[in-house]
Structure 1
Protein backbone atom coordinates (compact mmCIF):
# COMPACT_ATOMS: atom_id res chain seq x y z
CA UNK A 1 0.00 0.00 0.00
CA UNK A 2 1.44 3.37 -0.92
CA UNK A 3 2.40 5.73 1.84
CA UNK A 4 -0.16 8.41 0.82
CA UNK A 5 -3.09 5.96 0.97
CA UNK A 6 -2.09 4.81 4.45
CA UNK A 7 -1.79 8.43 5.59
CA UNK A 8 -5.23 9.24 4.14
CA UNK A 9 -6.81 6.29 5.99
CA UNK A 10 -5.20 7.42 9.25
CA UNK A 11 -6.45 10.97 8.73
CA UNK A 12 -9.99 9.79 7.99
CA UNK A 13 -10.01 7.67 11.15
CA UNK A 14 -8.71 10.63 13.20
CA UNK A 15 -11.34 12.99 11.78
CA UNK A 16 -14.16 10.54 12.50
CA UNK A 17 -12.87 9.93 16.03
CA UNK A 18 -12.54 13.64 16.78
CA UNK A 19 -16.05 14.21 15.42
CA UNK A 20 -17.56 11.52 17.65
CA UNK A 21 -15.73 12.73 20.74
CA UNK A 22 -16.85 16.31 20.06
CA UNK A 23 -20.44 15.20 19.57
CA UNK A 24 -20.46 13.27 22.86
CA UNK A 25 -18.91 16.22 24.68
CA UNK A 26 -21.61 18.49 23.28
CA UNK A 27 -24.37 16.07 24.31
CA UNK A 28 -22.98 15.78 27.82
CA UNK A 29 -22.78 19.56 28.13
CA UNK A 30 -26.38 19.96 27.03
CA UNK A 31 -27.56 17.26 29.43
CA UNK A 32 -25.72 18.82 32.37
CA UNK A 33 -27.07 22.28 31.58
CA UNK A 34 -30.61 20.88 31.44
CA UNK A 35 -30.12 19.16 34.79
CA UNK A 36 -28.81 22.34 36.36
CA UNK A 37 -31.78 24.29 34.92
CA UNK A 38 -34.29 21.88 36.42
CA UNK A 39 -32.38 21.60 39.66
CA UNK A 40 -31.59 17.91 39.67
CA UNK A 41 -31.79 18.13 43.44
CA UNK A 42 -34.49 15.82 44.86
CA UNK A 43 -35.65 18.65 47.12
CA UNK A 44 -36.45 20.70 44.03
CA UNK A 45 -38.56 17.90 42.60
CA UNK A 46 -40.41 17.60 45.91
CA UNK A 47 -41.04 21.33 45.98
CA UNK A 48 -42.33 21.26 42.40
CA UNK A 49 -44.66 18.40 43.28
CA UNK A 50 -46.01 20.34 46.28
CA UNK A 51 -46.54 23.45 44.17
CA UNK A 52 -48.43 21.45 41.56
CA UNK A 53 -50.67 20.04 44.29
CA UNK A 54 -51.36 23.54 45.57
CA UNK A 55 -52.18 24.78 42.08
CA UNK A 56 -54.58 21.88 41.60
CA UNK A 57 -56.36 22.75 44.86
CA UNK A 58 -56.55 26.43 43.93
CA UNK A 59 -57.98 25.54 40.52
CA UNK A 60 -60.63 23.40 42.20
CA UNK A 61 -61.45 26.18 44.65
CA UNK A 62 -61.87 28.69 41.84
CA UNK A 63 -63.85 26.50 39.45
CA UNK A 64 -66.01 24.54 41.90
CA UNK A 65 -68.94 26.14 43.70
CA UNK A 66 -68.74 24.62 47.17
CA UNK A 67 -69.96 26.02 50.42
CA UNK A 68 -67.96 28.46 52.49
CA UNK A 69 -66.93 25.85 55.09
CA UNK A 70 -65.46 23.57 52.41
CA UNK A 71 -63.53 26.50 50.96
CA UNK A 72 -62.12 27.41 54.38
CA UNK A 73 -61.12 23.79 55.01
CA UNK A 74 -59.22 23.63 51.71
CA UNK A 75 -57.44 26.91 52.43
CA UNK A 76 -56.42 25.63 55.88
CA UNK A 77 -55.07 22.42 54.29
CA UNK A 78 -52.91 24.56 52.02
CA UNK A 79 -51.58 26.55 54.98
CA UNK A 80 -50.70 23.36 56.89
CA UNK A 81 -48.39 22.09 54.14
Structure 2
Protein backbone atom coordinates (compact mmCIF):
# COMPACT_ATOMS: atom_id res chain seq x y z
CA UNK A 1 0.00 0.00 0.00
CA UNK A 2 2.71 2.49 0.97
CA UNK A 3 5.49 2.07 -1.57
CA UNK A 4 7.62 4.84 -0.23
CA UNK A 5 7.89 6.85 2.98
CA UNK A 6 6.47 9.96 1.29
CA UNK A 7 3.06 8.37 0.71
CA UNK A 8 2.98 7.20 4.33
CA UNK A 9 3.73 10.75 5.55
CA UNK A 10 0.98 12.14 3.31
CA UNK A 11 -1.49 9.57 4.69
CA UNK A 12 -0.59 10.43 8.29
CA UNK A 13 -0.93 14.17 7.62
CA UNK A 14 -4.34 13.57 5.99
CA UNK A 15 -5.55 11.52 8.97
CA UNK A 16 -4.43 14.20 11.44
CA UNK A 17 -6.17 16.91 9.41
CA UNK A 18 -9.39 14.88 9.21
CA UNK A 19 -9.32 14.23 12.95
CA UNK A 20 -8.77 17.94 13.65
CA UNK A 21 -11.73 18.91 11.46
CA UNK A 22 -13.99 16.30 13.09
CA UNK A 23 -12.91 17.46 16.56
CA UNK A 24 -13.65 21.10 15.72
CA UNK A 25 -17.04 20.14 14.29
CA UNK A 26 -17.93 18.18 17.42
CA UNK A 27 -16.94 21.09 19.65
CA UNK A 28 -18.96 23.56 17.57
CA UNK A 29 -22.06 21.36 17.68
CA UNK A 30 -21.88 21.00 21.45
CA UNK A 31 -21.00 24.63 22.22
CA UNK A 32 -17.51 24.02 23.54
CA UNK A 33 -15.20 27.04 23.38
CA UNK A 34 -11.43 26.99 23.70
CA UNK A 35 -9.36 29.94 24.91
CA UNK A 36 -5.80 30.86 23.93
CA UNK A 37 -4.34 28.55 26.59
CA UNK A 38 -6.29 25.53 25.31
CA UNK A 39 -8.77 25.51 28.20
CA UNK A 40 -12.22 24.34 27.18
CA UNK A 41 -15.53 25.57 28.55
CA UNK A 42 -19.17 25.40 27.59
CA UNK A 43 -20.50 28.45 25.80
CA UNK A 44 -23.34 30.02 27.72
CA UNK A 45 -25.13 33.15 26.65
CA UNK A 46 -23.90 36.08 28.66
CA UNK A 47 -26.51 37.62 30.92
CA UNK A 48 -25.46 41.15 30.21
CA UNK A 49 -27.38 44.37 29.89
CA UNK A 50 -27.31 44.00 26.12
CA UNK A 51 -28.84 40.51 26.35
CA UNK A 52 -31.61 41.90 28.56
CA UNK A 53 -32.18 44.75 26.10
CA UNK A 54 -32.37 42.30 23.21
CA UNK A 55 -34.88 40.15 25.10
CA UNK A 56 -37.00 43.25 25.71
CA UNK A 57 -36.79 44.18 22.02
CA UNK A 58 -37.93 40.70 21.02
CA UNK A 59 -40.84 40.87 23.46
CA UNK A 60 -41.87 44.27 22.10
CA UNK A 61 -41.65 43.04 18.52
CA UNK A 62 -43.79 40.00 19.36
CA UNK A 63 -46.42 42.30 20.85
CA UNK A 64 -46.37 44.48 17.72
CA UNK A 65 -46.78 41.44 15.49
CA UNK A 66 -49.76 40.32 17.56
CA UNK A 67 -51.33 43.76 17.24
CA UNK A 68 -50.75 43.80 13.48
CA UNK A 69 -52.24 40.32 13.14
CA UNK A 70 -55.27 41.45 15.11
CA UNK A 71 -55.66 44.59 12.97
CA UNK A 72 -55.38 42.63 9.75
CA UNK A 73 -57.84 40.03 10.96
CA UNK A 74 -60.30 42.68 12.16
CA UNK A 75 -59.94 44.62 8.91
CA UNK A 76 -60.55 41.47 6.90
CA UNK A 77 -63.66 40.65 8.89
CA UNK A 78 -64.91 44.22 8.37
CA UNK A 79 -64.34 43.95 4.62
CA UNK A 80 -66.04 40.55 4.52
CA UNK A 81 -68.95 41.94 6.51
CA UNK A 82 -69.34 44.93 4.18
CA UNK A 83 -69.22 42.60 1.16
CA UNK A 84 -71.94 40.44 2.70
CA UNK A 85 -74.09 43.51 3.34
CA UNK A 86 -73.64 44.62 -0.30
CA UNK A 87 -74.63 41.15 -1.51
CA UNK A 88 -77.79 41.29 0.59
CA UNK A 89 -78.65 44.75 -0.80
CA UNK A 90 -78.31 43.49 -4.36
CA UNK A 91 -81.00 40.82 -3.82
TM-score of the superposition, structure 1-length normalised? 0.48
> More helix by proportion, 1 or 2?
1
Larger Rg: 2
Higher relative contact order (CA 8 A, sep 6+): 1
> More strand by proportion, 1 or 2?
2
